[in-house]
Structure 1
Amino acid sequence: MVIRVAIIDDHDMFRAGVRASLNDQVNVVCEAANVDDAVIALHEHLPDVVLLDVHMPGGSGGGGAEVLTRCGDIVGGTRFLALSVSDAAEDVVAVIRAGARGYVTKNISGPELLDAIARVNGGDAVFSPRLAGFVLDAFGAQTQNTTATVDDDLDKLSAREQEVMRLIARGYTYREVAAELFISIKTVETHVSAVLRKLQLSSRHELTRWAAQRRLL
């Protein structure tokens, strides 16, 4: 069976280059250039493998990690492979914790990308050779650090603030959180401000990354 692939990246020329590199050996079933369009397209087409950029516009500012958290119901049946220029620890850890099966950089060759797609589709975890050791070290260290501190972090938040935190981190709008919890939008704003202050975060993007790293979504 031909592998069904989605390409999620905000650069038209890059998506075109990826399609050309894949050389018709996979079936590209959908593309998207921002977080919200990606979530809609992936739920509609349910591809086998998603090539996902880490830094994406739209949504709540969570980029590729936000796409993963908002597509949590299809992660597993659909495999996600991060494809990015970034090798920053925070980017790698965020998307892997959110559910990606691998992380490769954009200097990968066409044949190498096809091989990575096939391996991820088969259930393997795939990383660019120069990232493999770094990913294992960073992910292991992050796991140890966050496991030791996650309870202390959550203890800073009230039960209601924890509910609001999880919904906001999953990409809900303030209006959607208010409807879900039967509270006013103003109350949601107050809770979000308190959460960001207590966790010493500055934005919804940082909150999404913080929650994804601690498997709280």
Structure 2
Amino acid sequence: MSAAESTTVMVVDDHPMWRDGVSRDLEAAGFTVVATADSVAAATTRAKATTPQVVLMDMHLPDGNGAEATARVLEAAPGANVLILSASSERDDVLQAVKAGACGYLVKSASAAELIEAVNATAAGQAVFTPGLAGLVLGEYRRMATEPTPAGAEPAPTLTPRELEVLRLVAKGLSAKQIGRRLDVSHRTVENHVQATLRKLQLSNRIELTRYAIENELG
């Protein structure tokens, strides 16, 4: 079974022709489209019912934006990875989506092949961005990293040596399987370290782990 055939996807877009077309492309590539939705409310309900591994999310929906939808979907299905697929490449849209927990951001001018590759990468926990947008996000994180720490802020929690090792590799964009091969452990062990690190640092995804690594010069 290929990676695509083992990956479940939900497509969220309020344009029926686009939503149906993307769903067909994904299914033709071997993905299983377990749900589609045309609004924030429908996406939240269907994510909870189907627990997809990847959610393709539009940024502009009738009852809210993609950032709001991303946050609500991740509350309903915490194991999902959200990839924004939007016509907008506006700075504010990109940053809002990532801060809400999206793993990546792809513009709708991407080809079907680029979309398939991006969904595979998102399912593997990698950050995926249309060229140019990754620099925007990391630039914002670097800017935030230069801001002074608020007075009275609590010290950062202590990570184990192995958690730090995994964090450095996550920040370099390696998938759990790639990290597992490098450290000679199973990808599930890597995921356990990642989840433990996320809990300790009170972060929600690998993008935020990357920001933490940049702030602490761990990359």
Give the structure-1-normalised TM-score: 0.61
Paired residues of 1:68 and 1:75 also in contact (CA < 8 A): no
Distance 1:36 1:144, change over 3 A: farther
Distance in 1, matches of 2:73 and 2:120, equals: 21
In the TM superposition, what whole-angstrom CA distance separates every residue of 1:158-197 from its partner, at most 9, and x where no partner exists?
Answer: xxxxxxxxxxxxxxxxxxxxxxxxxxxxxxxxxxxxxxxx
Paired residue for 1:10? 14
Matched residue type, 1:131: L
Equivalent residue of 1:70, what SS?
helix
Match of 1:20 in 2: 24
Q: Distance in 1 between matches of 2:146 and 2:67?
A: 20
- Structure 1 runs of 4+ with >6 Å offset: none
Match of 1:45 in 2: 50
Residue in 1 aligned with 2:133? Answer: 131
Match for 1:111: what amino acid? A
Task: Tell me how far apart the structure 2 counterparts of residues 42 and 95 of structure 1 sit (CA, whole Å).
Answer: 17
Q: What's the offset of the Cα at 1:122?
A: 0.6
Could you tell me the percent identity over the aligned residues?
36
In structure 2, give the amino acid aligned to 1:21.
D
Partner of 1:81: 83
Greater RCO (Cα-Cα under 8 Å, separation 6 or more): 1
For residue 55 of structure 1, report the CA deviation from its aligned partner.
1.0
CA distance in 1, matches of 2:54, 2:33: 10
Match of 1:56?
Answer: 61
Partner of 1:129, secondary structure, is: coil
Structure 1 runs not aligned, ≥5 long: 152-217
Which residue identity is paired with 1:41? R
Compute the displacement of 1:74 (Å): 4.7
| 1:93–1:139 CA contact under 8 A, matched in 2 | no
| TM-score, with structure 2 as normaliser | 0.61
Q: 3-state DSSP class of the match of 2:68?
A: helix
Q: Indicate which of 78, 99, 102 corresponds to 2:101.
A: 99
Distance across 2 between alignment mates of 1:9 and 1:49: 14
Does the CA-based 8 Å contact 1:75-1:99 persist in structure 2? no
The root-mean-square deviation of aligned C-alpha atoms, in Å, is 2.5
Stretch of structure 1 that moved more, 72-81 or 119-128: 72-81
Structure 2 counterpart of 1:122, from 113, 121, 124: 124
Compute the displacement of 1:124 (Å): 0.5
User: Alignment length, in residue pairs?
Assistant: 148
Q: Structure 2: which amino acid aligns with 1:133?
A: G
SS at match of 1:71: helix
